[in-house]
Amino acid sequence: MLKVIKKDNSIEGFEAGKIIAAVKKAAFRCDKVIDADHLEQIADEVHNRLLARETVTVAELHELVIAVLAFLQYKEVADAYAEYRYYKQTYARTFEQLRQDADDVLRLGDRENANFDSSLVSTKGSLIKGYLTKSLYKQFYLSGKEKELIERGDIYIHDLRDMILGCINCCLFDIGHVLRGGFEMSNVQYTEPKSVLSALQVIGDITLVATAQQFGGFTLAELDKVLLPYVLKSEKAAVEKYTAMGIDEPRALEYAGKDVVRELEQGFQSLELKLNTVPCSRGDFAFTTITFGQWNVDEYDEREKGWLYMIGKVMLQVRRNGHGKDHKPVVFPKLVFLYDEKQIAADPFSSGLFDEAVKTSTQCMYPDYLSLSSDYGSVSEIFQKYGAITSPMGCRAFLSLWRNEAGKAITIGRCNIGAVSLNLPIILRLAQLRDPEGWKDSFWTLLDERLEVIRSFFLKRYDIVRHQKCSSNPLAFTQGGLYEGTKNPDDTVGDLVRYMTASFGITAFDEFTFLWSGKRLVEEGGEISARVLKHLKEKLAQFKKEDGYLYAIYGTPAESLCATQARQYDEFCRAEGIDNVFAHTPHYSADYFTNSFHVNVTEEITPFEKQDREFVDFHLCEGGHIQYVRLDNPQNYQAVKAMIVRGMKKGFYQGVNFDSAYCGDCGTHSTNVLFKCPHCGSSNLSVISRVCGYLGYSNVNGMSRMNDGKMAEIKNRVSM
C-alpha cells in the first residue's frame, strides 16, 4: 500500500477521501461544484500516477493534486488549491499587515466606529483580535468571487471581524421575558426583581452580557411597559411601609409615589452611566436602544397610565439633566418615541409625554420618533393590522414582517444575521467600461450578479447560525431573550433562523445618480434611485420565495463605510485610468460618499423639502431607514414639534440634527458648534453629533472618535 510521509515524518496510508475533501474545499473557494463521480475520478488519477511508488511526501502529493486538476481542466480549482497550498507565504504577508494594524491601534487608536473608545486597553485588545478574525474569515471562509468583489469594493460585508464567530446581528431583545420568573446568567441564578430600581440595575447587567454575544444594535423594545409591573411592586412595598408606620392611605400613596419616582431616577441614571462608561467584553459600548411611549389606552387604568407616563418622563428628564456637577450629556442609550396619533389625541398622559419628548429633542437630539399611525410604511401597516410594534435596531435596521404558525405577527424577540452593502458607483462605472454603448443595460446585469453573490453569502450565514449551539448566546437562546429561545444549551439554534432577517444594503445614491444622469439626487428627482430600489424589491421577493428566508433592503448608514467606499472607488478609477469626478465636482468629495438614500449634506434645502425629497426612497428601504433634518435653531420648540408631527404623518422614523457642545473650560452648552466654544474660545469641547442614525462624539477635548471621512462630511453639513 502507498504510504504518505507527513510533515512531521510520521507515516500513514494513502486515503483518497482526504484528496476529495481538499478538492471540495478548493472548489468552494472559487465558486465551483464538482460532483461525486468527478471527485472520485480526480482521486483515482492522483493514485494511478503513484502506482509505481511505495512512498510519497505530503509536499509531492499536493503538487500532484494541482497537476491533476489542471490536466482534467479544473484550472480555477487548481489555482484555488495552490493558493491554499502556499498559505505560509500568504500568511507571512497577512501577519505583517496584522502587525502593522496592531501597532497602529496601540500608538494611534482606531476611529472606524464611534462606538469604540480605542484609548482603553480592553478596546485595543478587542480591535487587534478583530483584525485577526477578519483576516482568517477572508482567507478561509469567503469564496473566490466574494473575495474579489470585497477587495475591489463592489460589495461590502459588514462586521466581517465577527463573521467567524457565527453570532447574530442586531436584535429586539425580549427583556420582559427574561426578567419574569428569574433567569440564569453566567451560571448564576437571578431571581425576578422586586423593585423597579433593581429591575433597571439588572437590565444594565443583562445588556452588557448579552451584547457581547452578538454584534450590532441591542434594542430594549417598549421598555416602559416592561417596567410597569416593577413600578407597581415598588409602589406597593412603599405603601405597606408607610401604612405600617401609621400614616393614612392617601398620604402613604403620595409618599410612595415620590419614592418610586426617585427609584426611577436612580435606575435610569445608573443605566446611562453603565452604558456610557463600561464597555462590554467585545470592547465597544453596548449600542442600546430604548423604545417607549405607546400603550393601548383601553388596557390600562388611570393609575397605570399615569405610571407609564412617569416612566417615560423620568427617562427623558435624566437625559436632559446629563451627569455630574457640569451636567455633561451622554449618547447611550438611543431613545425612540413610539408615536401613535390616535393615542396622543385620546389620552392626556400620552399627549403630555410627547411634549416632554419634543422638549428633550430640542436639547439632546434624542429621542427619535417612529410613526405607528401613518397611511405610509410597513411599520404603521403592521401595527394597525396586527397590533405589533416593529422597533428599530441599531441606528436604523428594521425586521421584515413575520408571523408565527398561529398567524400572529412577532417582532420582539427577533434579530438580523448581518448586512452586505452594494457600492453602486463602482458597479455603474464597471458597466460603462465593459460596455460603453449599452452600459445602462449592462448595469442591471452586473447588479443582478452582485445580488446573487450576496444571496449565496447569506445562505451560508443562515446555515452557520442554524448549526450554532444555543450555549453560544445563552441569554438569547436558553433564557428567552429571543422568540422560542428557551432551548437547552447543547441544542442548536435550528429553525429559529426562520424569523431572522438578512439585509441587502445600498449606499451613495446621490453619487450614483450623478454618474447615471449628470445631476445630483435633488436635481434628478429620485427617478433612478426609486427604479433601483424597486428592482431590488422584486429580486428579494423572488429570493424569499425560493429560499424561504427573510431578506430586506437596507439603507446603509455608512459610518466608516462612507470613507471606505469613496477610497475604493478612487482606487478603482486609478487602476482603470479613468477620472474620479467626485474629486473636483462641487458638492462632492473624494473623502466620503453620501449616506444611503439621503440627499447630499451640502444641499441648501429646508427641513420640509428634505422630508419630501427622501419620502419615496425611505419607504422603499423598509429593512433599514431613518429620515433626519438639520435644525439651525433647535430651541424653537413649536417649529421642532411641527416638523416631527409632519414626519409622523409621512410614516417616518424621524430624527432631528444639530451639534450639541459642552465646554470643559467655561461649562456652557452650545448648539451647532464643532471646534471652538462661542463663549470663551476654548477648544476643550465635548461635541455630540449625528454619526448616521445614532449619536456619537465628534469632539472630545479636541479629539474625535469618528473617522476622517465622517468628520469631513460633518464639516460640510448644511441640510443634515
Q: Note the pLDDT tens digit of each residue in 640-696.
A: 999 999 999 999 999 999 999 988 889 888 888 878 899 999 988 888 999 888 888
The C-alpha cell 417615560 sits at 312
pLDDT at res. 674: 79
What are the φ/ψ torsions at residue 221 (nearest 5 degrees)?
-75, 135
Intrachain domains 149-169+413-625 and 172-386 with the same fold: yes
The whole-chain average pLDDT of the chain stands at 92
The band of 87, judged by pLDDT with boundaries at 50, 70 and 90, is low
Domain boundaries, the chain: 3-85, 89-140, 149-169+413-625, 172-386, 659-720
pLDDT at res. 114: 55
Residue scoring higher pLDDT (255 or 81): 255
- Model confidence pLDDT, tens digit, residues 479-510: 999 999 999 999 999 999 999 999 999 999 99
* Residues in Cβ contact with 593 at an 8 Å cutoff, skipping those fewer than 6 apart: 425, 507, 508, 511, 558, 561, 562, 565, 566, 569
Under DSSP, the state recorded for 624 is: B
pLDDT tops 90 at residue 717:
yes
pLDDT tops 70 at residue 328:
yes
pLDDT at res. 1: 80
Residue scoring higher pLDDT (718 or 8): 718
Closest CA to 307 of 323, 319, 295: 295
Cis-peptide into 229, omega within 30 deg: no
Q: Which helix (H) or strand (E) holds 349?
A: helix 348-364
Lowest mean pLDDT among 117-126, 367-376, 631-640, 660-669: 117-126
In one-letter notation, the amino acid at residue 293 is G
Q: Which parts of 328-413 are beta strand (E)?
A: 334-339, 368-371
Mean pLDDT for 65-85 is 88
Cis-peptide into 586, omega within 30 deg: no
Classify strands 501-506 and 414-422 as parallel, antiparallel or unpaired: parallel
172-386 placed in CATH 3.20.70.20: yes
Alpha-carbon distance 377 to 230, whole Å? 34
Q: CA-CA distances (angstroms) from residue 251 to 123, 240, 308?
A: 51, 12, 21
Q: Which parts of 372-453 are beta strand (E)?
A: 414-422
Q: Note the pTM of the prediction, 2 decimals.
A: 0.87
- The class level of CATH for 149-169+413-625 reads alpha beta
Q: At what angle do helices 58-71 and 36-48 cross, to 10 degrees?
A: 120
Closest CA to 565 of 35, 153, 102: 153
Residue scoring higher pLDDT (403 or 668): 403
Alpha-carbon distance 334 to 339, whole Å? 16
pLDDT at res. 95: 66
pLDDT at res. 279: 80
pLDDT at res. 31: 80
Q: Which residues pair with 415 in a beta bridge?
A: 171
The band of 7, judged by pLDDT with boundaries at 50, 70 and 90, is confident
pLDDT at res. 86: 67
Closest CA to 690 of 709, 706, 667, 668: 706
pLDDT tops 60 at residue 303:
yes
Do 298 and 265 contact (CB within 8 A), yes or no? Answer: no
- Model confidence pLDDT, tens digit, residues 168-201: 999 999 999 999 999 999 889 999 999 999 999 9
User: Rg (Cα) of the chain, in Å, rounded?
Assistant: 28
CB-count burial class (<10 Å; 0-12, 13-18, 19+) for 683: middle
Q: C-alpha 290: how far from its chain's center?
A: 15
Which ranges constitute the DSSP H helices of 220-301? 223-244, 249-277
- Model confidence pLDDT, tens digit, residues 609-650: 999 999 999 999 999 999 999 999 999 999 999 999 999 999
The band of 131, judged by pLDDT with boundaries at 50, 70 and 90, is confident
pLDDT at res. 402: 98
Cell of 295: 400603550
